[in-house]
Amino acid sequence: MESAGLLQGKTAIVTGAGRGIGRAVALAFAEQGARVVVNDLGCSKDGAGSDPTVAAQVVDEIRGRGGEAIANVDTVATAAGAAGIVRAAVELWGGVDVLVNNAGILQDKSLLGLSESMWDEVMAVHLRGAFLCTQAAAAQMRLQRRGGRIINTTSISGLLGNLGQANESAAKAGVYGLTRTASIELQKYGINVNAVAPIARTRLTEDLPMFEKVGDTLEPAHVAPVYTFLASELASEVSGMVFSVAGGRLSTFQLVESAGRLKDGIWTPEEIAEHLESISKV
C-alpha cells in the first residue's frame, strides 16, 4: 500500500544521519513530509575526526527533492551536544516530534584485548548518547504537551551477543534497557519509545562476512520504513517494542522468562543441576 504524508508537519531529529541507516531514515522521513534535523559529526568508523559536509550533503539531497532539512554537527556524547541538537529543531521549527537515536561508532576487539578507552568511547556514543538525546528531546516534548516518538537503534549483537564486540554489545543491550524503562516512564506524556535492531549493509558493517554474498537484499532502504512506521500515527499504540528488520524479514524481540520450577524451601546447588532443564524450559 502506498503512503504519503505520514509525517506531514512533524519535526524529526535523526542522529548519525549522514550515512547508512540514518541517511535512509532522514530521506524517508522527509519524503513523508517531516522537517528533519540531520545530525552527524562526519567522523570515521571508529569515531575519529569530523567532516561537516557529510550532514550537509544529506540536507542538500532532501532539499533537492523538495523537503525541509538542516544540518547539525553537535556530538550526542555530551549533555551540551544533545541540548544543541534539540535546540536546533526548536529554534527553527518551534519544537520536536520525533527523535531517532542512531549515531554509532565501532571499535571491535576481542574481550581480552579491549582497552578501557575503546570501551568508554563506544559507550559514550551508543548508550550515553541515546540517554542524553532522549532526555533532552523528552523534556521538550513534555513542554509541548502533544506527545512524541523516540526510536532507538539497538543491534542483534546487543540482544544476542557477538564475537569481538563486547563494548558494542554491552552498549546496545543498555539501549534495550533504556528503551523499556523510558517507554514506561514517558507514557504519561504521550511519548512512545521503541527500538529497532537492524541488519543492513552500511559503512560500519560492510566488512562482516555475512554481507559478502547478499547482493542488494540487506540495504538501509529496507530498514527505513520500520522507523517511519514507528514515527507515525500508525504506531500510536506501540511502545516498548523492539523490531528486527533484515531485508524483507521483519520480527520483534521479546524477553521471555521460563515457567520455572517451584519447590518448598531453599534450592541446593545439586538440585539446581539436577533440574536445570525443567527450570529453564520455556
DSSP letters spanning the chain: -----TTTT-EEEEETTTSHHHHHHHHHHHHTT-EEEEE-----TTS----THHHHHHHHHHHHTT-EEEEE---TTSHHHHHHHHHHHHHHHS--SEEEE-------B-GGG--HHHHHHHHIIIIIHHHHHHHHHHHHHHHHTS-EEEEEE--HHHHH--TTBHHHHHHHHHHHHHHHHHHHHHGGGTEEEEEEEEE---TTTTTSGGGSS-TTSS-HHHHHHHHHHHHSGGGTT--S-EEEEETTEEEEE----------SSPPPHHHHHHTHHHHH--
Per-residue pLDDT at 65: 97
pLDDT higher for 248 or 129? 129
Range 11-257: architecture per CATH = 3-Layer(aba) Sandwich (3.40)
pLDDT higher for 214 or 255? 255
Residue % of the chain over a pLDDT of 90? 88
Residue 33: closest CA among 211, 231, 218, 209? 231
pLDDT digits (tens, 9 = 90+) for 6-62: 999 999 999 999 999 999 999 999 999 999 999 999 998 889 888 999 999 999 999
- The cell for 172 is 546496545
Query: What is the spatial distance between Cα 152 and Cα 135, in angstroms, rounded to a whole number?
Result: 13
Does this model's pTM top 0.75?
yes
Q: What is the CA radius of gyration of the chain?
A: 20
Nearest 5°: phi and psi at 262? -110, 140
pLDDT digits (tens, 9 = 90+) for 51-105: 999 999 999 999 999 999 999 999 999 999 999 999 999 999 999 999 999 999 9
Answer positive or negative: Cα dihedral of 270, 271, 277, 279. negative
pLDDT at 130 over 60: yes
Q: Give me the amino acid identity at 184.
A: I
pLDDT digits (tens, 9 = 90+) for 246-269: 988 999 999 999 999 999 999 999
Per-residue pLDDT at 200: 75
- Alpha carbon 31 to its chain's center: 20
Is residue 103 within 8 Å of residue 16, measured between CB atoms?
A: yes
Q: What mean pLDDT value characterizes the chain?
A: 93
pLDDT band at 135 (very low <50, low <70, confident <90, very high): very high
Beta bridge partners of 13: 37, 99
